[in-house]
Structure 1
Amino acid sequence: MWTRVQQARLDEIGVEIKRLVNNPNLSQKQADHLARLNDEGFSLLGKKETHEKATCMSSYASPTEWGRGDTNPGDDDNGISFKGFAPGMENLIRPTSMYEIDKSQIAALKQAALQGHSFKVQIGSIGIEHGFMGGVHTKAAVTSGGLSPNLLPPIQQLGPMGYYGLPYELTRVANFLPNVAMEGPGIAYFRHDSNGAEAAYVAEGATKPDLTPVITEQYVRPAKVAGRINLTHELVQDAGDAFANNLTADLARSVYNKESNLLLNGTTGANGFAGVNQVSGTLTRALDSANSESPLDTLSKAFVDLRQDFFVPDLVFIHPATLGALRRLKDDNSRYQLELLQGAGSINQTTEQETLWGVPCVQTTQQAAGTAAVLSVNSGAAVVYVREALTTFFDPYSQAASNIYQFIAETRLALATPRPGAINLVSGLPTS
């Protein structure tokens, strides 16, 4: 309790301490007296503070439980007016115990710890954790027709059926060409272009011919293909790590998609290197429609063109629509020209690779419809030099002021065509 006598003594101590502090010439006896006054004053102040807190709390106590809100019934302050808001036991003031934490709160804290998220609960109170972690203990049977939208919070489906990425071209062109690691910022290779003379029959005592080879040094510099995705911290936190991982996979596929396009159609001026269809010095073959030439004849002649230049065709890049049109070519009796004996039964539309006369045909939408690129890869038609394989970065800092995470993917590579003559570009093929 706190009485008027205690308050008067506290005031008296305050006046005496002030007088002693203002005295510049304190004796030892006065200094000891000042120390005792300080101790007594702090003790009284502590009691007064305790009384004020008790007064505040008791003002909310229920008169049903305590009779009236009065911390000192023996004094003459006539008690403290009751400020309670309900007469029940819930207004009883008592300390909260850690033993009152319930199962829902424990489960919520455990889940937050597993996911690495901050979370707090209020012991003795009903919080959001009871809605999500409390569970359903008893309920009546519900038929499928009795369910209504948003009855329960949705659960994100895990695994491949929980996310459907953006479709991209299925074929990565680089997978079908030789890949060579580039150990420096650029590489060089030698190419034997021609001879001044060739070997010949030599009579006894005659001078052997000098081939006089013409050698050139070729240089390759890598070009970068890159992209990024920006996600807010809130989106990553709410959608989960699996969502961010799936988007990162889509980012990688986007980089591969552009990489394939550059390997086939890139130009030196815009992209740093020329793609297969943009290289100078290649062979060309066009459909001779004036003489009613069959598209299959055109492709066969393209193969022969390479063979006549001492190259063996071993790869064809072709658009799916063009290959589909070739599959549907029919003779005068409406029989499919491909697989004449079995019809179309053994031709698989779903595979990325088939063969024409033993040469693999790779379908890709990066090759223009109505065209085909016939290569002799083993003879040096095309080589992919890789300075940096696909690399993915996670950057949570550069845009942290806006709560934005960056996912960055990039690769550095170049296409070299040591033997442009080992490429034959075919045009005029059907598309429907």
Structure 2
Amino acid sequence: MSNDERIEAVADIYKYAKDVAANKTYGKELDGTTKLVKESGMEPGLYYAYKEMQSNFKASMENYEAFDQTFLAIKNDKSLSEQEKNSLYHNLLIKGNDEATWKKYTEISDKVTAEEFVDALTQVKYIKGIGKEELSDETGAEQAKAEATEFSKYLDMMGYTGEKRAALEDKFGFYSMIRQDPQNYTFDMLKNEGNTYERDAISAVESSGMSASQYNQIKTLANRLQAGVDYEKGKSGAKKAAQAKIVSQNVNNYDQYAAVMSALGLKRFDSLYSSGGKLPEDSGLNTGINVNRSSASQKTSSAGFVNPTTASNSVVTSGYGGRNAVKTSKGYSSTNHDGIDIGGTGGNLNGQAADSIGGGKVTEVGYDENGYGNYVVVDHGNGYTSLYGHLQKATVKQGDTVSAGQQVGVIGSTGNSSGPHLHLRVRKNGQSIDPRTVIPGYK
């Protein structure tokens, strides 16, 4: 090695040492992360895989969108156990956010699950992120009011009440709540308290023939699309095209499509229209109505119940009451149906979550070989009970307390069943009633 090469090598080493010395912050962060993972007892590879995913999301989208996409990726990863999901929620998304967020969670962890807290945190980040983009011309008070209204809509749609709702309101600082059931949202409310785009376009939405509640359902669905799942991540215009598709499928005609797209703040969307579908709450729809994520998982009926599945392709495959017997694994089905059967279009719901339609206490978990198969019964109070039948397995035990939308089982085809589906039975004061009279989305 020549003297010049030696000098160059020493200079490179010196420069490297300076870089290391200047990067103490990174070293501390790495040490802290390693300690966090070790203390959690989780698999380091799992943590860093999702941390890298989050970093990649941040490179191509806003931070609040990256947080949302990471949360949805963890939530929808069927290969993860509940313990692994909770470890990722705790260590990557809550502690990984900041110590103040972790403190908030620990103070209300007896009232909300880690998944519920992260979902609410995601919504807060989304609202504040959109607020910076769309409400920059508002005064501080007006922006705070609009943000509070959006968070209130979210809590309404999730069916949160009582201590759970109060805890989330308190910890996330949204105190000016306008508490309205989604079905009672009015256009006046949107005109006065919506964001800038909505206030400019909401009159056209109203004139197009849809209700304010229908608009809010479509808006929620269009704004919660997942990069890499619902559209190609990083591809220019892919998200807008996916949103246009969702809007097209949930409106009756182009006028409604154009009004909603404008209210969402989207432009140059004419070429993306793919013909009308049906509004989420279109009256008179019978067996076969599709229920999207918005109406299924986030809308609450006038009776206070939500739907038993969030699957976007769910449909009623057999209604309540008299019906023709069909061939089953045990012979034939009953001719007097005490509930409704919910299956899927373009495939089945096998392995999907069966969710409680309301808060309450699990009074029975059992197996009925010639009937419901694996089943769960929840007592909701006020004379209402619900049964979830033909499950692969129950995910709760007798005596558990559940909230609206909480998973109680895995949809399957046990017992006297014609194929994978969820049997939902609802009783009022001991008498079976048509579940569609008390849950939203299925008419």
Question: How does the TM-score come out when normalised to structure 2?
Answer: 0.22
Question: How does the TM-score come out when normalised to structure 1?
Answer: 0.23
Q: Which has the larger radius of gyration?
A: 1
